[in-house]
Structures are given as C-alpha cells and as structure tokens.
Structure 1
Amino acid sequence: MEPSDVIVVGASAGGVEALRDFVRGLPGDIEAAVLVVLHMPPRGVSALPAILGRAGPLPAVAGTSGTVLMPGRIYAAVPDHHLLVADGRIVLSHGPTENGHRPGVDALFRSAAVAWGSRVAGVVLSGSLDDGTAGLSLIRERGGVTAVQDPEEALYRSMPESAITNVPVDLVLPARELGAAMAKLLKARRELPAPAPLSDMDRLEAEIDAGEGISRNGVVAMTEPSGMSCPDCNGGLFSLPGGKRFRCRVGHAWTAEALLVEQSVEVEKALWTALRALQEKQQLASRMYADARTRGDMRLAERYAEQQAEHAESVKVLRKLLVERRSE
C-alpha cells in the first residue's frame, strides 16, 4: 500500500536525542513513510536504524536503493550516500556533497518535494549552521507541511533557528511533541494545495543530487560566477537564485553560512602550514649559522643569525594570531 504522505526529517549535531524524541511521538498506525537523514561520517556502519527502532512504535531500517516506500516505516540514511525518493522508491546516491555532507538534509528534502509535491512534511531538528533551510523552503513552496524543533530545547539551535527565520513554519514544538502533532496535522488535512511548478533550477539540483545532470553544465549555463572557489574541488562557485547558496561546475553545493565557516577552516589550515614552514626555516637558519661559525666565516654566520631572528619573530607573531583565532 502506498503511503498517504512522506515525512522527511533532517538533523545534525545533537540530532540523535532529538530524533529519538520525535519518533517516540509518532503513532503506530501512521499512514505516512518516514525518511531520516542525520549527518554522519562517510566511513563505518550507522546504528541509527536500531536506535530509532527501539525509541518508538515504528520499525526502522537502513535505506536501500529500490526499496518501495511503505506506510508506518522509518527509513534511515546510510553513510556516504544521499537518501532520496523517486517513483515511490528509495534512491541512494553518491552525488556531490552539500555543505560538505553526504547524506545531506537538503538533498532528501528536495527530492521529496519534487516527487511528492504537497504530500510531503519536512521536519528540521537540532544541528549546526543552516542545513535543511533550502529544502524546507522548497517543501513549503510545493504545498507541503513544515515543522521545526523548538530552538530553546535543541542541543544545537542553529538549524532550527535558520529554518524559522527563512521559512513560514507550520509547527514549532519540542521534539517529543512534534511527532504526534505532525501526524495529527497530516490526518486533518482535507484538501491538498496544488504544488507550485518546479523551476528548471529545482529540477537540475534534484538531478545533481541523484548523480545526474552534471555533464550538461547546467549550473554554468543557468547561473553567474560568484568569484569564489569550492572548498571540495577548488573549482569556481556559481551563485544560485537568491544569492545565499552556491554550486560548482561538478555540483558541490554550499550555503553562504557553511561556505564562510569552511573558508575559515581553510584559512586556519593555511596559517598552520605557514607556521610549520617558518619553524623549519628558523631551524635551518640555525644550522647554517652553526656551520658558518665552525668554518670561521663570521660574516655569513651573522647573516644566518639575522635570518634566524627574523623567522623566530614571524613564528611568534603567527602563533599568537592562531591562538587568538582559536579563542574567538
């Protein structure tokens, strides 16, 4: 039997606790299928299905490609694959990362909005930065239901706050209350709104998430260069409509907030690399100074001594800068 609706749930930092509370509140006779993305490392095996299956009345399984969606089931994302839906089935994709993540929350939300229109309910739970906001916005545009964990109780409030700030949200509740409230709201809907038409960009992004549509260079043809580089592949980033999101030629996606954080990480890595190089130059100058003194060449020794002192001062300044950055 086909599910009446699809509930898509996204979480990141602090998300396991929130997901437990959410699925605990879902009724055992719910007619919707539930799909869950939690940001996770690309290696290893996820214990999420077992955790969610014990937390509430619904059985939970790891998503596998080709699985037909069933009502009253929870399908959890697996490491290093986007969890998507198409034609009433699960699709696992090794498509480009979103904000450095695979599985990505926005990739799941986007695919559900494209495939199920107004029969989608999106839920954003605890997490850092602004993952889920873009996908939840598309769910809203397509006539779906939107829900967010109350930021006041979220372990990490950035994802819920971003969603509330940027998307008209139907429900804002503690995670333990969201499941029951979502099921009640879906059951009470008498008439489904007509989904807004999909833009060419929405379709292209859904294809990219699925690992398709990249060879046509659609991103390049439909957008403008941003003047920034992709942290994943160093290719040029192109500004998506609205100016708050970016994709590169091969499809890696970034929000402005996530890109800013990642660029800060790259800057710090570069500074630590520079510090290492300066320390090595200081050490080498010290060795050359000692060698020149041994050979009695005091003029050369003096030059190496000056270089050693110069590098030592640079090391001191750079180390202080790095420590101050870490304490901000």
Structure 2
Amino acid sequence: MEPSSLIAVGASAGGVEALREFVAGLPPDMTAAVLIVLHLPPGGFSALPAILGRACALPVQAAGDGIEAMPGHIYTAVPDTHLLVRDGRMVLSHGPTENGHRPGVDATFRSVAMVYGPRAAGVVLSGGLDDGSAGLALIKRMGGLTAVQDPKEAMHPGMPNSALRQVDVDLVLPARAIGDALMAALRHRVSSRPPPSELDRLENAIDAGHRIERNGVADMTIPSGLTCPDCSGSLYDLGDGRYRCRVGHAWSPEALLIEQGTEVERALWAALRALQEKQQLADKMCADAGRYGNTRLSARFAAQSAEQLSAAKILRKLLVGDGDMGPG
C-alpha cells in the first residue's frame, strides 16, 4: 500500500528527546509514512531505530536504499547518506553535504516536497543553527504542511526559531502533539501543487548525487565572493540566503559563519605554533652564537626570539584570553 502522505522530520542537538516525544504522539492507525533525519557522525551505527521503537507502538527501522515506504512505518536516516525518495521508494545518496552534514535535513525535506507536494509534511524539532528552514520553505511552496516544535519546549531552539523566522509555519506545538495534529490536517488537505523551479530541480538532483551537466549552479546563480569550507571552491548565491559551490556543497548563512569562524581559529592556532617554533629556533641559534663568541650575532637572534615571543603572547591572548605564555 502507498502511504496517504509522507512526513519528514528533522532534528539535531537535543533531537533524540524531541523525537521520542514526537513518535510517542503518533496515532497507531496512522496512514502516513515518516522519514526521520537526525544529524549523525559519518562513521558507526545508529541506535535511533531501537530508541524510538521503545517509545511508540509503530514499527521503526533504518532506511534502506530501494525500500518502499509503507503507511504507519517510521524510517530513520543512516550515517553518511542523505535520505531521499523517488517513485515511492527511499534512496540513500552520497551526494554533497549540506551545512557539513550527511544526512542533511534540507536534502530530505527538498526531496519529499518535490515528490509528494500537497501530500508532504515537514517537521522541525530541537536543534541548533538554521538547518531545515530552506527545505521546510520548499515544502510550504509546494503545497505541503509545515510544523515546528514549540521553541519554549525545545532543548535547543535554534532550528525551530529559524524555521519560524523564514517560513509561514502551519503548526507550532509541543513535539508530542504534532503527529495527531498533522494527520488531522492532512486528512482534509486540499491544495494545489505548483511546478518546482529549475533551481529546485537542480538542487534535488545534486542531493541525489547525479552528475550535473555544464556548470550547474554556476549557470543559474551569481558568485557570492565567498569560499566553500568543504572544497575551497567558489560559493554561489541561491537568492534565498543560502549558498552552493560548483560541486554541490550547500551552506546556510549561520552554518557558513560558524564554519568560517572555525577555519579562522584553525589558522590562528597554526600561526601560534609557527611563532613558537620560530622562537625556539632563534633561542638555539642565539645560544650557538654565544658559544662561539659571536656576541653580535647572538644579540641579533635574541632580539628575534623576543619578537616572536611578543607576537605569540598577543596571538595566544586573542585565542584563549591568556597573555601568559608560561614556561617554555
């Protein structure tokens, strides 16, 4: 049997607790299928199906490539693959990361919106930053329903608050109340399905890992002047506050800002290490010159050592707020 509708759920930090509440509130006679995306590290095994299976009466299993989505079933994304849908079946894709994540919430939302249109629903639960907002907006544009966990209840309200800022959300409820409310609304849903834009189609194809002819995003958008943290390629402005590079890595503004800050810090630590090594070398050369009685050269290297020490103290204070280099 084909599900009456498809509900896509995205969560990140604090998401396990929110997901337990969400699945516990799903009606046992539910005719929709549910896809769940929780940000996961690329390696290892996810225990999420077992955790959620203990919280509800519905069957919960890890998504599998080519598996048909069944009504009343819950499927969880697996590490290092995007969870997409095509022709009523799930597709596990190793397409480019979204905000550094694979599985990505936006990739799943985008795919569900493109395939199910008015029969799609998107749910954003607890998490940081702004993941899920762009995909939820597409679900809304394609005639689907949108729901967000009440930010006052979420352990990490960043994702819910971002969705509320960017999308005219249909439902804002505690996680446990969302399932019943969505199913009631979907049963009486009458909505048109506008055609997706060419950019939406292109992004969906990129998520699926398809080979993109010519320059893809570069042909449809404009350069942003920013650089992709994943591949160092040029980022292109998608026009809705998001960015993609030529090979497909996607970034939201908040995630990009955080990642650029991480890159800056990494570069500063590398500079501090180089300064300390340079000071150590100048000290050694100063001592060697002193042993050979070359006081002029020894003084020169001592001055260089003091210069590196001063610069290193300034840099360390910038990094950790401590100007005392300590011994060595």
Q: TM-score, normalised by structure 2?
A: 0.97
Return the match for 1:304 from 301, 305, 323.
301
Amino acid aligned to 1:85: V
Q: Which residue of 1 aligns with 2:135?
A: 135
Which whole-Å CA distance do the structure 2 matches of 1:263 and 1:205 have between them? Answer: 23
User: 1:64 corresponds to which residue?
Assistant: 64
Question: CA separation in 2, counterparts of 1:143 and 1:94?
Answer: 28
- Report Cα offsets for 1:30-89 as digits up to 9, x if no partner: 000000000010000101111111111111110011001100000100000000011000
Calculate the aligned-residue CA RMSD, in Å: 1.0
Q: Which of 283, 291, 294 matches 1:294?
A: 291
Output the CA distance in 2 between the equivalents of 1:178 and 1:308.
64
Is 1:281 the counterpart of 2:278 in the alignment? yes
Q: Does 1:193 pair with 2:187?
A: no
Aligned-partner Cα distance in 1 for 2:36–2:56? 14
Asked whether 1:157 is paired with 2:157, we answer yes
Question: In structure 1, how many angstroms separate the alpha carbons of the residues matched to 2:3 and 2:179?
Answer: 16
- Shift of residue 183 of structure 1? 2.1
Letter in 2 for 1:116: Y
Aligned: 1:85 with 2:82: no
Give the alignment of 1:217-228 within 5 angstroms: 217-228=215-226
The corresponding residue for 1:316 is 313
Question: Which residue number corresponds to residue 261 of structure 1?
Answer: 258
Q: Equivalents in 2 of 1:181, 1:141: separation in Å? A: 20
| Conservation of the 8 A alpha-carbon contact between 1:214 and 1:251 | no
1:7 corresponding residue in structure 2 = 7
Deviations 1:150-208 (A, max 9, x none): 11111111100000111011111111221222222222x1x421112100000000000
Alignment length, in residue pairs? Answer: 322
| C-alpha distance in structure 2 between counterparts of 1:165 and 1:62, whole Å | 32
- Which of structure 1's runs of 4+ aligned residues deviate more than 6 A? none
Task: Give, in whole Å, the separation in 1 of the partners of 2:190 and 2:136.
Answer: 17
SS of equivalent residue, structure 1 residue 152:
coil
Match of 2:119 in 1: 119
Q: Give the counterpart letter for 1:240 in structure 2.
A: L
In structure 1, the partner of 2:202 is: 204
Kindly, what percent of the aligned residue pairs are identical?
64
Letter in 2 for 1:193: S
Q: Distance in 2 between matches of 1:268 and 1:159?
A: 25
SS of the aligned residue for 1:55 comes to coil
- Structure 1: how far apart are the matches of 2:56 and 2:123? 17
The one-letter amino acid of 2:230's match is: D
Q: Which runs of 5+ in 2 are unaligned?
A: 323-328
SS of 2:152 mapped into structure 1: coil
Q: Per the alignment, in what secondary structure is the counterpart of residue 226 of structure 2?
A: strand
* Cα deviation, residue 213, structure 1: 4.1
Of 240, 244, 247, 1:247 maps to 244
State the Cα deviation string for residues 236-265 of structure 1 (Å, max 9, x = none).
1011022x1000000000011111110000
2:225 partner amino acid: G
8 Å Cα contact 1:27/1:57 also seen in 2: no
Alpha-carbon distance in structure 2 between the residues aligned to 1:3 and 1:101: 28
Distance in 2, Cα, partners of 1:196 & 1:231:
34
Provide the residue aligned with 1:230 in structure 2: 228
CA distance in structure 2 between the aligned counterparts of 1:147 and 1:219, rounded to whole angstroms: 29
CA distance 1:306–1:107, shift in 2 (3 Å): same
SS at 1:51 equivalent: helix
SS of residue in 2 equivalent to 1:153: coil
TM-score (norm 1): 0.97
Supply the distance in 2 between the matched residues of 1:232 and 1:281 (Cα, whole angstroms). 30
Q: Any idea what SS the aligned residue of 1:67 has?
A: coil
Match of 2:24 in 1: 24
2:46 equivalent to 1:43: no
Structure 1 distance, partners of 2:321, 2:178, is 41
Q: List alignment gaps of at least 5 residues for structure 1.
A: none
Distance 1:30 1:241 in 2: 37
2:54 is matched with which residue?
54
Are 1:214 and 2:221 counterparts? no
Q: Determine the structure 1 residue equivalent to 2:326.
A: none
* Residue 306 of structure 1: how far off its partner (Å): 0.2
Residues in 1 aligned to 2:288 and 2:183: alpha-carbon distance in whole angstroms: 78
1:100-128 Cα deviation digits (max 9, x unpaired) = 00000000000000001110010000001
